[in-house]
Amino acid sequence: MLYNIFIDPFVQMAQMPDLLVQTLWEGLVSGVLYALIALGFVLIFKASGVFNFAQGIMVVFSALTLVGFYEKFSAAGFSGHTAAFVALVLTAGVMFVLAMLVERVVLRPLVNQPDIILFMATFGITYVLIGFGEMVFGGDPKQMIASELFLPSGSVDVEMLGGMVSFQKIDIAAAVIASVMIAGLALFFQKTRIGRALRAVADSHKAALSVGISLNQIWVVVWFAAGLVALVTGIMWGARSDVSFALEIVALKALPVLVLGGLTSVPGAIVGGLIIGIGEKLGEFYWGPLLGGGIESWFAYAIALLFLLYRPQGLFGDKIIERI
């Protein structure tokens, strides 16, 4: 039994390194995508202290909006790359309107309420978006317009370590785009005026208000940024599988990533995503059969729990200082 748990998986890894690389790669890719969702959470949590449960549904909603716009265009005889990019811009516009609405209808009346109340309010947003999305787009899974957005498909097989390792092109694209976006967000946070204001708000609401930063404006910006992250995530996830409300559960996968990295840390979201993604795939592949399989559903939480017991604020989270 102990042999099976502690030695056998590593023996397997050493015997078939190509399989190990394949598993690591798959873990890496899903880790990047988890990190993207977690990034949306972190953006909002940092700037408004809201634990935004609706991020997962925003991913689905933005992807569905994009596909919906494109379908409308192609029904009008206007399709191809241009139409896809017009749809993309329009979807970004929809996410902006959503951000405005959330700020105006939900956040502004609830300012200064306890965290848990705001958390619940984002549940309300989730329900509204599910109801509205299903009413407008229907419940059927849709095909993401991947090729129209110049996203590659197919796979590259590389011979290495005595075997073939296959990389899906879309996964490579996802990793590249995610890195570019994270770099872009980092630049935005460090170098621009609004980025500085965002960091100020994240540090202290009251101090930011007192130097003349408009909280309401910042919240719109942040929710819009989270909406854009959701849109990119939606495109990537949608290109890997279909776009449907089943994607919603992916949001639940992002939660352990989030607490593992720390709720307030952008690098934490990325590192956490990679740890969870790789850990989950390795666990499922090498240790899963011992337990009867399907451990993916809770393994990520177990990893996060272990890290949390060691560091209760997550790996990169701000140190929790308690005062009496």
Tell me which residues touch other proteins (CB under 8 A).
Answer: 51, 105-106, 109-110, 113-117, 119-121, 123-132, 134-135, 139, 252, 255-256, 258-259, 263, 291-295, 297-298, 301-302, 304-305, 308-309, 312-314, 320, 322, 324
Nearer Cβ to other proteins (23/264): 264
Rounded CA separation 42/314 (Å): 13
Rounded CA separation 31/25 (Å): 9
Q: Six-digit token pair at 305?
A: 């729990």
Nearest approach, Cβ of residue 116 and other proteins (Å): 7
Nearer Cβ to other proteins (195/288): 288
Nearer Cβ to other proteins (173/257): 257
Q: Six-digit token pair at 163?
A: 């075997």
Rounded CA separation 302/256 (Å): 9
Nearest approach, Cβ of residue 143 and other proteins (Å): 21
Nearest approach, Cβ of residue 200 and other proteins (Å): 23
Rounded CA separation 311/23 (Å): 28
Among 252, 274, 247, which residue's Cα sits nearest to residue 30? 274
CB burial of residue 249 (10 Å; 0-12, 13-18, 19+) = exposed
Nearer Cβ to other proteins (115/203): 115
Rounded CA separation 4/234 (Å): 39
Nearer Cβ to other proteins (25/316): 316
Nearest approach, Cβ of residue 248 and other proteins (Å): 11
Nearer Cβ to other proteins (237/245): 245
Place of tokens 């204001």: 197
Nearest approach, Cβ of residue 199 and other proteins (Å): 21
Rounded CA separation 26/33 (Å): 11
CB burial of residue 295 (10 Å; 0-12, 13-18, 19+) = middle
Nearest approach, Cβ of residue 245 and other proteins (Å): 11
Nearer Cβ to other proteins (121/250): 121
Nearest approach, Cβ of residue 36 and other proteins (Å): 18
Contact partners, residue 321, CB within 8 Å, separation at least 6? none
Rounded CA separation 161/255 (Å): 35
